[in-house]
Chain A
Amino acid sequence: MEVPILKQGDFLIATVQAALTDADLLHFRRALIQQVVRCRSQGVIVDVTSLDVMDSFASRTLREIAQMIRLRGAQTVIVGIQPEVAFAMVQLGLTLENVATALDLEEGLAHLKQKSESTA
């Protein structure tokens, strides 16, 4: 299952559309980092609204993505974690520490714009 990555100005928007296997997640990580480099992106949004389970592997992969992108000097925001998914994640002990999250795409974009203005 390929995750589409769209370029919007200085930002990239990746929308997870269906359940991802571990292999899909690793493929997505690679593809996203490549796009960040190619597009010289300032910020990335990963929209997980349609994910119904976020287990330890998915959570770890998202955290690694955010860390890699930060090392490139860009920001990552995870948006759309469903309330039930958030509940299960916390029970499991997955807190996505040091990763920015936002309610939805709109809030995520606002967050990235604010960040890029404050560093400009």
Chain B
Amino acid sequence: MENEIQVPINSDQDIVAARQKGRSLAVALGFSSGDATLIATAISELARNIVTYAQCGKIRLTVINGSTRQGIQLVAQDQGPGIPDIQQALRDGFSTSGSLGLGLPGVKRLVDEFAIVSEENRGTTVTATKWKP
């Protein structure tokens, strides 16, 4: 089992590829099928944000070892326009692209830890971690 997988995100096909790789990694690591579905869904949303707002970027999936447990860390990174108001973007119902506007708050609910760093015109990095219970 690889401990780190990097998936370039340039098109809607890459969204499917990234979430399938994430699911495989989660299952290989011993996550339940339900948790693997949560991870795959989170990856799908993060990859979609990259394609929608930044056109291209990458998702890195890393196996992480805590003191008592293992987890998967998802890092979605792009050099897109950035998010001017992160607090607003994390509120349910907010979207600038006419989508459902549930992307980021929804993803936050799917995982255990969630962090976002964004700089206007520099890009956005979302880091999400799911721990194995």
A residues engaging B (CB < 8 A)? 19-23, 52-57, 59-60, 82-85, 87-89, 91-94
Contact = CB atoms under 8 A, between A and B. Distances in A.
Interface of B: 12-13, 15-16, 19-20, 23, 33-34, 37-38, 40-41, 44-45, 48, 92, 99-100, 102-103, 105-107, 109-110
Given A52-B23, A53-B37, A88 B110 contact: yes
Contacts, number: 74
Given A23-B12, A55-B19, A55-B45, 11 more contacts: A23-B13, A52-B37, A53-B41, A55-B48, A56-B103, A84-B34, A84-B37, A92-B102, A93-B92, A93-B106, A93-B109
Contact of B102 (A82, A84, A87, A93): A93
Of A21, A23, A56, A59, the most chain B CB neighbours within 10 A belong to A56
